[in-house]
Amino acid sequence: MKKELLMGTALVSTLGAASVAEAVTATMSGNHQTGMEFESPTGGTDTNAQRNDNNFTVSLSETTDGGMTISSSFKLMDENGSAGDLDAGFTLAFTDGSKLDVINAGNASGSHAISVPSSAGAEGIAQTSLNHAQTGLDFMATSSVLGVEYHTASDFLADGLKMSFSASTDNGAAAGATYRVDSHYAIGATYVTVLGDSAVTIGGGYSASEGSKTSTAVTSDDGGFHVGLSAVTGDLTVAVGFGDGDRNGLGAYRSSQSLDGEALKAGVKYVSGDLTFNVGIASGEGKDNNAGSTGGSDDTIDTTSASVSYAVASGVTAILGYSTTDATNDGSSTADNDGSAWYIGANMAF
């Protein structure tokens, strides 16, 4: 018994020492944004509600003796009970500046979508689940979790050029009634240069995916392209972007709905001391159909938004936002989904 206790003590001590010596570096970051939103739909009743955006991320990393960095991260749950990002993979950063994302790596096309300024608030008119028009530039850039994405180092092939390549496959399970992405390949690129007093960034990507579902076959799989441009001159940022493609499994009818759509975005941001002013427009339209069908009328969403943000203290920002929305579903105006919305709140980042 004495020998067993001694052996157990030695084992615990060894494991304890090993865990300290071999522990990766962990950092924490996140934000807590909360405020009140006031909606005034054209054909409905005014409403107001509290809006929260809470994120808490733990990042883990360690560097091998050869100089390669291995990293991963995950999000924790917030107090609202929604699950965080618990399926993150690993990133291998090599000494030449390139990186490889492994498992749930994402889509190389979406990685290079240009960020276009819009309201920093959390306001907007709620849309019917039947309206599938998209306003994100990379709405067609889908992938499965069983994938990798390779990011080149900066100045790849030319000064200011950086590219990504990605691919994924399915898990081998039988197809179900809901459309799923089985595989994809994608390419994306970002080019940065200086023109006069402006730093100009051009980003774009192309993605093609294949999917499956039981019963009716889809007319076309996910895929398409996007391109955008951003120019920064001192405290002023101007950006514009365009996306076009197909997407399946949207909205309330994920099992049978397909979309052939396009999106256009433009925005301006200006920083003056502790104040930041944002103005943006977003326009999306597309034909949504049952799987295997064609034709139909366009769904549309047109939004104009603006905000003023004030840096109250380090990491604390007060936000006042406003937006107006016009929408149609299958070519018909939806008054309940048109209107304006206000937001007032604050964000605390760490």
Note the pLDDT of residue 254.
Answer: 58
Look at residue 48 and tell me if it is in a domain.
Answer: yes
In a domain, 228, yes or no: yes
59 occurs within a structural domain: yes
Q: Is the pLDDT of residue 111 over 80?
A: yes
CA pseudo-torsion sign 115, 120, 125, 127: positive
The residue ranking higher by pLDDT, 22 or 145, is 145
Is 15 domain-assigned? no
- Looking at residue 9, the DSSP 8-state letter turns out to be H
Q: What is the mean pLDDT of residues 49-70?
A: 91
Q: What mean pLDDT comes out for the span 38-57?
A: 88
Tens of pLDDT, residues 178-214: 788 889 999 999 999 999 999 999 999 999 998 887 8
Q: Look at residue 36 and tell me if it is in a domain.
A: yes
Residue 206: inside a domain: yes
Domain of residue 306 covers 32-76+88-349
* pLDDT tens-place string over residues 8-45: 444 344 344 444 446 889 999 999 999 999 999 887 78
Give the pTM: 0.82
Model pLDDT, residue 293: 62
Domain count, the chain: 1
For residue 16, tell me if it sits in a domain: no
Give the model's pLDDT for residue 259: 78
Please compute the mean of the pLDDT values over residues 92-120 and round it to a whole number. Answer: 94
Mean per-residue pLDDT of the chain:
86
- Residues 234, 197: contact at Cβ < 8 Å? yes
Can you point out the beta strands (E) in 152-235?
161-169, 180-195, 198-212, 223-233
Residue 217 lies in a domain: yes
Q: Which domain CATH number covers 157?
A: 2.40.160.10
Two tokens, residue 9: 């003590």
Q: What's the confidence (pLDDT) of residue 271? A: 97
In the chain, the largest separation of any two C-alpha atoms, in whole Å, equals 83
Report CA torsion sign: 28, 74, 54, 146.
positive
pLDDT of residue 277: 98
Burial of 132 (0-12, 13-18, 19+ CB in 10 A): buried
